[in-house]
Structure 1
Amino acid sequence: MSLPRYLQYKDSGAVIVGAVPHHWQMKPVKAVASINDDVLPETTEPTYELTYVDIGSVSLGSGIESTETFTFKDAPSRARRLVRDGDVIVSTVRTYLKAIASIVEPPENLVVSTGFAIVRPLDMIAPGFAKYALQSPTFVDAVISRSTGVSYPAINASDLARIALPVPPRDEQSAIASFLNRETSKIDSLIAEQEKLLKLLAEKRQATISHAVTHGLNPDVPMKDSGVAWLGNVPAHWRVVPLKRLLADVKAGPFGSALTKEMYVSSGYRVYGQEQVIPADFSIGDYYIDDSKYRELQQYSVRGGDILISCVGTFGKIAIVPENVEPGIINPRLIRVRVGASLSGRYLEAVLRSSVVFEQLSMVSRGGTMDVINIGTLNAVTLAVPPMREQEGLLAFLDEETTKLDQLKSEAENAIDLLKERRGALISAAVTGKIDVREHASALAAAA
């Protein structure tokens, strides 16, 4: 889309903003909006029910993705800020910097975390325009530049209030908001299509793995009843065996005070945890123990080919240890598995990622929530195991098929990233006056 520029510009006085249309004004947020007007008083009735929004449940573009319901007495102490229609909530914590959302027709009991600044537009700025001005990359960059702190960077409300915004006349604000409503809606639809594709690819990947490790590759092979409900029929020549009989060793990470962060040093032997397993990247991380502590905890050491399983909070995250891994141990949030002679480590990794195993684990895990997996839980799993040569053939097939799916996934993720970049650039250009959308917005309105 090619859009004209304004005829005359002037220096905005803000490096991040650059030049703005000559007739626009630059105003600090505090001049066009109030901040943090409404707070639930401590005298609120203990039984008052509130709908709560935390920082982690808000994202740029998608807005509020989830809420929780509490009574006042049971709510977190940070659940205090009331919001109203037209407000914009802006995270002041840099870790969640893109937690920005506009509020439209909220329930009267909607309360957000004190980690948000509640920006309430005054008469000078239209809520529709404010929504985009405060989620534009230009504004986000300004927040970043004013954030302070090392481990938990944040911006306080008074500093946020001093950030200057370009403010066009009200009629132009409406035109810009109308234009962006239409254009971002188109982009959001394209993003939604790619996200739907990602979900379908993930389901296809899971189905491909699950079918391969329960039925094999030959559709004409004789089948037998496995005797296990969640396995169903399996090839007649496969063994149906409890997982514990297939393992040479299984070890949960050190318990209690055997390993604490106070024992970590700047270099030495690595301590591996979810930080490495979740992304399957053993090159990252900076937790170490010294030689004496390593000798003491050597029973928890890792070596190439070990399978590490996240056992707390994020079960299902599994990684196989590369052969060239730095010497080290697992931490308490992992289980280390070593396979026996009749099982390939890579094949077990694939099986553990299948829905068949997940269903078994979800049935026997504590509360069925998959929050905690232990060795006893793993021992309860039953597998259908093909001969070793067939395991290698299945792995070759899965490598080929999942590589294709992963390529499609990567393309979809790249498309989403580009669409989000385009969305942000369009918003930034419109709310800083780098493009003149007035005629375009008028034409769209006339055609509606």
Structure 2
Amino acid sequence: MKNIYPSYRTACMRWLPPVPEHWNEQRAKTFFREIDERSKTGQEELLSVSHLTGITPRSQKKVTMFKAASYVGSKLCRPGDIVINTLWAWMAALGTSRHAGIVSPAYGVYRPHRTDSFNPGYLDYLLRTRAYVAEYIGRSTGIQSSRLRLYPDQFLDIRLLQPPRLEQDQIVVYLQAQDSRIARFIKAKRNLIALLLEQKQRIIDHAVTRGLETAVPLTYSNVEWLGDIPEHWNVALLKHVADVRFSGVDKHSHGGETPVRLCNYTDVYKNDSITEDMDLMRATATAAEITRLTLKADDVIITKDSESPDDIGVPAWVPKDLPGVVCAYHLGLLRPEPERVMGEFLFRAIGSARIAQQFHILASGVTRFALGKHDVKNAIIALPPIEEQKAICDWIAKECQPLDDAIARAKEEIKLIREYRDRLIADVVTGQVDVRNWVPNPDDLITEEDLVALGDDEEIDTDLENENDDD
């Protein structure tokens, strides 16, 4: 049976459950004020705002998109400041910073009147609970649900739950210990997923460069990195088997344009296929853009820009026509010539390690990397006859199914442990569980390395939304 407090009262903030009677509850403006200090050099540490891990150095994140060209004029923040992504508060993209650094000028930065009012760690946990997210949504304004903004006057009017400082400190120690255990579990599952993906990659690599028949005669491809291929295969440039189109459709909604759903960079980067049931961003596009970039069955989409060359040329396949879904910017759309190449085979080929390596080499840049249309058009693939392409795709699907199932199970286990963590945090920071007498044991050792695993491979890069936002 869980430990509870002796007495409770009704909370002032509508979404909170009954809270311990002796806990304080005051509007945020009692404890915080908005700060707008700007960087003159842009050289301070760049901080990222996550709906999962709060405020962390961006250098710790696996960022799949561009940084800004300059950070002069970014907002400064200090340890203990609350930082809120104004556009993504409804997704809990906020937290209490443990670092001095800079954040997007579109963010809200709030500094405590007194440093002893809150343990920053307690507030960091509290502010991302579902109860508070519900309050942000109710107080945000905007036409579209995905474009809601939480303005400073509304945030400062929200009531913050304030246990006595010693209880806050104990709550933070307890939750960090639980986080350390949860993070180690997640890390182990991610390591398993990485091994399964390596196995899957080896299966695909061999099939799309050597075929399925072990006894088939081979011939030199005349491409050093490709090596030998079956002698009845061809070597083809992408421009000879597919129409290559680059997109410039941004995420904004413009008057006079047609509403569409956008297939964005992260949709491609994190998924093998783009399907109707995906939760895609809504925006607008011109009639010409819709005609040229609406996704059709067998299209292949690739990432063409990134902060890392390893994240360029990542493909996704479109199995069925998707009326109303348009390819967004930072992406290239490959429309196969059906008599030459199957879309599914093209997707598998581009995703293979040896063929993808040419994109990594061709990508130009120092801090930003990009593929030009010429690079994509002149990329090389090994090309079997159409009938053999289908056989290879069917074989890959069959061989990879057990691996895909195991990966899905591991991801589901990570999802479930995250849900457990969310419930645990909510119960503890709102006083539904009394941890004042909890005593740590040797297994509760907390390390930064462990806690990094709490970040998600599928985190939404909310920083990108604001860097590209000119509203």
TM-score range, shorter chain: 0.7 to 0.9
Q: Deviations over 1:156-175 (max 9, x none)?
A: 22322222222222222222
User: Partners in 1 of 2:133 and 2:248 — Cα distance?
Assistant: 43
CA 1:208–1:59: 2 relative to 1, 3 Å: farther
Amino acid at match of 1:113: S
CA 1:198–1:21: 2 relative to 1, 3 Å: same
Tell me which residue corresponds to 1:158. 153
Amino acid at match of 1:144: I
Tell me which residue corresponds to 2:403. 405
Amino acid at match of 1:89: V
Matched, 1:423 2:421: yes
Equivalent residue for 1:126, pick from 109, 112, 119:
119
Deviates more, 1:124-133 or 1:181-190: 124-133
CA 1:416–1:264: 2 relative to 1, 3 Å: same
Q: Deviations over 1:164-218 (max 9, x none)?
A: 2222222222221221111122112222333333444444333321221112234
Amino acid at match of 1:191: I
Tell me which residue corresponds to 1:356. 354
CA 1:334–1:113: 2 relative to 1, 3 Å: closer
Q: Is the 1:362–1:370 contact (alpha carbons within 8 Å) kept by the matching residues of 2?
A: no
User: Partners in 1 of 2:81 and 2:325 — Cα distance?
Assistant: 51
TM alignment of 1:330-349, pairs within 5 A: 334-339=332-337, 341-349=339-347
Q: Deviations over 1:50-100 (max 9, x none)?
A: 223254xx34236415159xxxx94243x122313x444333333674333
User: Partners in 2 of 1:446 and 1:54 — Cα distance?
Assistant: 30
Q: TM-score, normalised by structure 2?
A: 0.73
Amino acid at match of 2:243: V
Amino acid at match of 1:183: Q
User: Partners in 2 of 1:416 and 1:160 — Cα distance?
Assistant: 32
Amino acid at match of 2:439: S
Q: Is the 2:36–2:109 contact (alpha carbons within 8 Å) kept by the matching residues of 1?
A: no
Offset at 1:430? 0.7
Q: Secondary structure at the match of 1:51?
A: coil
Q: TM-score, normalised by structure 1?
A: 0.77
Q: Secondary structure at the match of 1:438?
A: coil
Offset at 1:423? 1.3
Matched, 1:226 2:221: yes
CA 1:345–1:133: 2 relative to 1, 3 Å: closer
User: Partners in 2 of 1:11 and 1:432 — Cα distance?
Assistant: 12
Structure 1 stretches lacking a partner, 5+ long: none
Matched, 1:184 2:184: no
Tell me which residue corresponds to 2:235. 241
Tell me which residue corresponds to 2:103. 112
Amino acid at match of 1:75: Y
Tell me which residue corresponds to 1:18. 17
Structure 2 stretches lacking a partner, 5+ long: 61-68, 306-311, 446-471
User: Partners in 1 of 2:324 and 2:17 — Cα distance?
Assistant: 52
**How big is the alpha-carbon RMSD for the aligned residues of Structure 1 and Structure 2?**
4.0
Offset at 1:334? 4.4
Offset at 1:418? 1.7
Equivalent residue for 1:214, pick from 205, 209, 214:
209
Equivalent residue for 1:75, pick from 71, 86, 110:
71
Equivalent residue for 1:250, pick from 243, 267, 270:
243
Q: Is the 1:94–1:147 contact (alpha carbons within 8 Å) kept by the matching residues of 2?
A: no
User: Partners in 1 of 2:126 and 2:284 — Cα distance?
Assistant: 41
Q: Is the 1:311–1:335 contact (alpha carbons within 8 Å) kept by the matching residues of 2?
A: no
Amino acid at match of 1:98: A
User: Partners in 2 of 1:194 and 1:14 — Cα distance?
Assistant: 37
Q: Secondary structure at the match of 1:111?
A: strand
Q: Is the 1:36–1:81 contact (alpha carbons within 8 Å) kept by the matching residues of 2?
A: no
Q: Is the 2:12–2:159 contact (alpha carbons within 8 Å) kept by the matching residues of 1?
A: no
Equivalent residue for 1:442, pick from 439, 456, 460:
439
Q: Is the 1:94–1:154 contact (alpha carbons within 8 Å) kept by the matching residues of 2?
A: yes
Amino acid at match of 2:71: A
Matched, 1:61 2:50: no
Matched, 1:168 2:163: yes
CA 1:101–1:220: 2 relative to 1, 3 Å: farther
Offset at 1:426? 0.9
User: Partners in 1 of 2:33 and 2:96 — Cα distance?
Assistant: 14
Offset at 1:367? 4.7
User: Partners in 1 of 2:246 and 2:256 — Cα distance?
Assistant: 15
Q: Secondary structure at the match of 1:436?
A: coil
**Structure index of larger Rg:** 1
Amino acid at match of 2:115: L
CA 1:422–1:117: 2 relative to 1, 3 Å: farther
Matched, 1:145 2:145: no
Q: Is the 2:55–2:95 contact (alpha carbons within 8 Å) kept by the matching residues of 1?
A: yes
